[in-house]
Amino acid sequence: MQIRLPNNWNPRGYQRPLWRYLEKGGRRAVAIWHRRAGKDEVCLHWTACAMHQRVASYWHMLPAYAQGRKAIWTGINPRTGVRRIDEAFPQPLRQTTNEQEMFIRMRNGSTWQVVGSDRYDAIVGSPPAGIVFSEWALSNPSSWGYLAPILEENGGWAIFITTSRGRNHAKALLDFAKGTEDWFSEVLTVEHTDSISLQAVERARAEYRGIFGDEAGDALIEQEYYCSFEAAVLGAFWGKEVRDAEVQGRITNLPVDPMLPVNTAWDIGVDDAMAIWCFQVYLDRIHVVDYHEGHGHGFDHYCKWLDERNYHGIDYVPHDAKVREPGTPGARTRIESMFLLGRKPQLVPNLSLMDGINAGRKTLAWAWFDEKRCSKGLDCLREFKTEWDDDRHVFLKTPAHDWASHGADAWRYLALGWRAPMRPEEPEPPPDMRGMDEWTYEELWRLARDERRERV
């Protein structure tokens, strides 16, 4: 039995430039295509071809592992009623299919698996020779930093497909690709593809407005169908404030002032994730000069990183820093570990989550950022958003827990602690240094009493 790949499928006209680039051996592509333009479909069929050109492991990566089952593994082609993966990877070419692990092994030895950017560094098995980063704008950008050297070493390829989600890491990667000769880059809106009628888009706009309100509904349409990077991220807590900082020129080249201490604000994750903002306090503003995030390292790693940059000041930490480090009974608390490593930890006020979010919003109005050193942290601030409840059609008050959470939590702690260095209480001047009209009644009464005692 002979099976031709791609299986019973051909790229549409607007999909052909990307397909031809990949057929000619292209290894890096960024495709910002509108919703329902067939991004995943193209990549699934290309991966099936690549698996039979080179025996290796291949991944289809979603922002979160849990999304993969609904979006890719069980996704149905509405035109045929067949699972998309069954169309792209025909059953006769398969050796095994693991429904639980969302894993396929082909008869020639190649493997394909659905994975998540939320656990990119915990995936076991052979390193991939090809990765599709689906919904890249919502994915953890650190996943590419971790996986890029692997693909570079083994000559593998990577395709980044997404709709726009504000001016975040997806926009930055697109800008980079545009200026790099061997990268493919493309932005396709509904006006470019004609795959969805403008009447259908306007019907969707009316529906979105009814669900989310006029402003949010329009932003969602601009984002989903017109690939606008300027549209507000739906449900973002601090999106407007970060845009204001961009427009006002407060995201720029920001040198570190050697005459001022560099304070830090930490999010200490329970899963060994850590995020640190580094900032300097002036009378009328704060300069946020650096951001660092990591996973699976001890406090010594982060303290060494700070020491190498001479970042020494107050280290603002949440109340869970009083918890003992995981390990043997009698282990040191996290604060004790920081003291022993030469840091100066200080607990921030233990306020509610929403109080911290409001403090973060107000602090953004005072903040200037270094554009390069804080780029990953700024992405976290842009993407920190609430969750949408599909059943009740409302935004929840609780933030979505995703890759942006650690940087956003560290910003909350910065917002709750940064004013402390600006509030030194000046000593009260002695009474005889003030005019009589500035004295209180009690002070005048005490003065008269003391004078009577002296006369006696």
- Site of tokens 């592992």: 65
Residues 134 and 68 in one domain: yes
332 φψ region: left (φ > 0), alpha (ψ -120 to 50), beta (else): beta
Lowest mean pLDDT among 97-106, 251-260, 437-446: 437-446
Residues 204 and 186 in one domain: no
pLDDT tens track for 328-361: 455 678 888 899 999 999 999 999 999 999 999 9
Q: What is the pTM of this model?
A: 0.72
pLDDT tens track for 383-394: 898 876 666 666
Residue 397 lies in a domain: yes
Q: Beta partners for 134? A: 161
Question: Per-residue confidence at 456, pLDDT binned at 50, 70, 90?
Answer: very low
Please say if the pLDDT value at position 323 is more than 80.
no
Residue 76 lies in a domain: yes
Residues 315 and 284 in one domain: yes
Residues 153 and 255 in one domain: no
Percent of the chain with pLDDT over 70: 87
Residues 202 and 317 in one domain: no
Tokens at residue 387, please?
């969750």
Please say if the pLDDT value at position 425 is more than 50.
no
Contact 68, 117 (CB under 8 A): no
What distance in Å separates the CA atoms of residue 404 and residue 412, rounded to the nearest whole number? Answer: 13
Contact 202, 47 (CB under 8 A): no
Structural element, H or E, at residue 41? helix 39-53
What distance in Å separates the CA atoms of residue 235 and residue 242, rounded to the nearest whole number? Answer: 14
What confidence score (pLDDT) does residue 229 get?
87
Residues 118 and 161 in one domain: yes
Residues 189 and 202 in one domain: no
Residue 5 lies in a domain: no
Please say if the pLDDT value at position 422 is more than 60.
no
Contact 445, 452 (CB under 8 A): no
Please say if the pLDDT value at position 327 is more than 60.
no
Residues 314 and 375 in one domain: yes
Residues 25 and 152 in one domain: yes
How many structural domains are present in the chain? 3
| Mean pLDDT value across the chain | 87
Show the domain range for 166.
Answer: 13-193
Residue in 219, 133, 132 with CA at minimum distance from that of residue 169 = 133
Please say if the pLDDT value at position 52 is more than 60.
yes
Alpha helix positions (H), 56-112: 65-68, 84-88
**Please, what's the largest Cα pairwise distance for the chain?**
121
Tokens at residue 189, please?
């809106």
Residues 100 and 181 in one domain: yes
Question: Per-residue confidence at 374, pLDDT binned at 50, 70, 90?
Answer: very high
Residue 86 lies in a domain: yes
Tokens at residue 271, please?
């899963």
Instruction: Give, in order, the Cα–Cα distances in Å from 182 to each of 53, 145, 149, 349, 359.
Output: 21, 19, 17, 50, 44
What's the rounded mean pLDDT across residues 414-431? 61
What distance in Å separates the CA atoms of residue 218 and residue 284, rounded to the nearest whole number? Answer: 36
Residue 404 lies in a domain: yes
Residue 97 lies in a domain: yes
What distance in Å separates the CA atoms of residue 52 and residue 377, rounded to the nearest whole number? Answer: 40
* CATH label of the domain that carries residue 52: 3.40.50.300
Amino acid occupying residue 183: W
Amino acid occupying residue 431: P
Residue 242 lies in a domain: no
Question: Per-residue confidence at 433, pLDDT binned at 50, 70, 90?
Answer: very low
Residues 122 and 136 in one domain: yes
CA 366 to chain centre: 22
What distance in Å separates the CA atoms of residue 172 and residue 184, rounded to the nearest whole number? Answer: 14
Classify each residue of 160-192 as buried b or exposed e, where b means 16 or more C-beta atoms within 10 Å of its C-beta.
bbbbbbbbbbbbebbeebeeeeebbbbbbbbee
* CATH label of the domain that carries residue 359: 3.30.420.280
Residues 287 and 335 in one domain: yes
Question: Per-residue confidence at 296, pLDDT binned at 50, 70, 90?
Answer: confident
Residue 327 lies in a domain: yes
